[in-house]
Chains A and B, each alone.
Chain A
Amino acid sequence: MNIYVLLKQTFDTEERIVITNGEISDDGVKYVINPYDEYAVEEALRQKEQHGGTVIVLSVGPERSAEALRTALAMGADEAVLIMDARIPADEFSVSRVLAAYLGKQSPDLILGGNFSVDSGGGQIAVRISRLLGLPHVSSIIKLDISGMNAEVQRDSEGDTETVQVSLPALFTAQQGLNEPRYPSLPGIMKAKKKPFQTLSLDDLGLDDTEIAPKTRRLSLALPPARKAGQIMKGDLAEQAAQLVQLLRTDAKLI
């Protein structure tokens, strides 16, 4: 089975955001595999362990993204592909077209991605790719069982669980609860260094920048207004509870 995993490198979720000169500062930031994509990598490895095949991890991003791909190789993925080109705009229309141009030339049986990325949070790219490739997809999955060329998945829909049967090839996006990602092992890290790692440009994909011209652009960036520490209630707990509910009624007028 040919398994492709869409992966993005993101800030660690414990990072604070600092804006310098209108841009998000990456000074001293710790990067990770987008947590939802990490579930996708883990699921790809588990499916390979059960059914055999190859796991190829794929990313569009700057040079530093190679580190996230190396981590996925160390977890057990077989090959990595980094599409790196300064002409690729940070717009979901553009990035999905780049990825679809690559995937359209492969023969994927299974494509896995994260439900959304914890940085830009648009949640568009994987689903767009399924349409561009004409493949069925199920998003936000919490269980994946494959038998032959059929998959039975469970999808989380705002807390409800839907069971869906899909024929492969298909694309799925991972939700929390799908699995518990493994840590790269020391031998895994050593082996990762020798695994195939391809770096591609737009030219390699036969794309020119007019085909991926962005549809949206960012005008500005701001931090949310800082919240001030409020009022700590006093007295015994029963008094505090009464005082709080009273304040919600009189001050905040929310009750």
Chain B
Amino acid sequence: MSHAYVVVAEVRAGALRQVTLEALHAVSLLKEEGDSAAAVLIGSQITPLASELAEYLDGEVHVLDHPALENYNAEAYFEALTQVLGTLNPHTVVFGHTAIGRDLAPMVAAHLNAGQISDITAIQNTGTTASFTRPIYAGKAFEQKQFTDGPRVITIRPNNIPTAAKAANPATIVETEYSPAVDLKSVIKDVVRKTSGKVDLTEAKFVVSGGRGVKSAEGFKPLEELADVLGGAVGASRGACDAGYCDYAMQIGQTGKVVTPEIYIACGISGAIQHLAGMSQSRVIIAINKDPEAPIFKVADYGIVGDLFEVVPLLTKEFREILVSS
């Protein structure tokens, strides 16, 4: 029997999110001969992105392009998405484990009476059964899960599954008429984009993170400069957030976000267990701390014992030189 796989695509700052291409790759790992693949793209003035998305999948790209869908609204997006899912009769729906995916996926799962496996970091498919690896306790342990019944809803963690390659035959674009519901119980009044132009923490290849050692909100400045040079994002430990040096949105740890960048630079972070849970799956960890006994050095690949306010600007200078010359 042929199964329908559906990826719910996402747009951020006018571009397709990388995790959408990772979700398409997840589909290629799961899909069997004869199964179909589709992507759903929801938003406003996104039709040009649909053609871009179409290059990565052999199937259909369903587009719901309407001014009322400009900003994410759980109810409106759910209505729009279920309208398309109703015609596709999906066997598996794939989301990115992002602000939107985390919110929409359980709505869709409840609607489809489906099981959901969230925050997947790896997929194993033997052909007869697929199993999914996901962190629990924010990465202090990993579990492998399987569906016992369909349909299936999954969310995949950004930065862990490779991106899809371009398809031999680009997808057909199917435009779906969307008429906004008149009886929505929730209305978006305002969106303040504090992160415009910045790389999202969970998708960043480089994360520069500050702890209590940064001492103040001002103290994050040198970390921001280093992140800018690397094209990365700035994170923080719970200590720094609790002390009021930064926004909770930046917190990395078991409470807060889990990140898996290529390079994680921990500045003035001692390395409490709850913080380590959120970053110890990074590819390379660099620790900068005045205290040579700080637990962070036990998980770091490279360490510099010294004052972050001296070390970070030196690193920024070195990276800038090497990145300019290459």
Contact = CB atoms under 8 A, between A and B. Distances in A.
B241 A176 contact: yes
A140 interface: yes
Contacts of A65: none
B279 to A, nearest CB: 11
B118 to A, nearest CB: 4
B303 A231 contact: yes
B225 to A, nearest CB: 14
A233 to B, nearest CB: 5
Interface residues of B, number: 98
A238 interface: yes
- Residue of A122, A241, A254 contacting most chain B CB atoms (<10 Å): A241
A237 B306 contact: yes
A13 B118 contact: no
A121 B137 CA distance: 7
B138 A227 contact: no
B21 to A, nearest CB: 18
A138 interface: yes
B145 A158 contact: no
Contact of B200 (A128, A158, A218, A232): A158
Nearest to A158: B99
A223 B277 CA distance: 12
Contacts of B110: 96, 127-129, 131-132
Nearest to B317: A241
A14 B273 contact: yes
Nearest to B282: A227
A66 B288 CA distance: 43
A128 B315 CA distance: 46
A252 B300 CA distance: 13
Contacts of B310: 237
Contacts of B280: 224, 227
A222 B103 CA distance: 28
Contact of A140 (B99, B247, B263, B292): B99
A118 interface: yes
B141 A159 contact: no
A204 to B, nearest CB: 23
Contacts of B131: 219
Interface stretch (A43-51, A78-86, A185-193, A242-250): A242-250
A224 B281 contact: yes
B315 A241 contact: yes
B250 A159 contact: yes
6 contacts: A128-B110, A139-B102, A163-B192, A221-B144, A242-B318, A255-B326
Interface of B: 71-75, 98-100, 102-103, 105-107, 109-111, 113-119, 131, 134-149, 185-195, 198, 200-202, 241, 247-251, 253-256, 262-263, 272-274, 277, 280-281, 283-286, 292, 297-306, 310-311, 314-315, 317-319, 322-323, 326
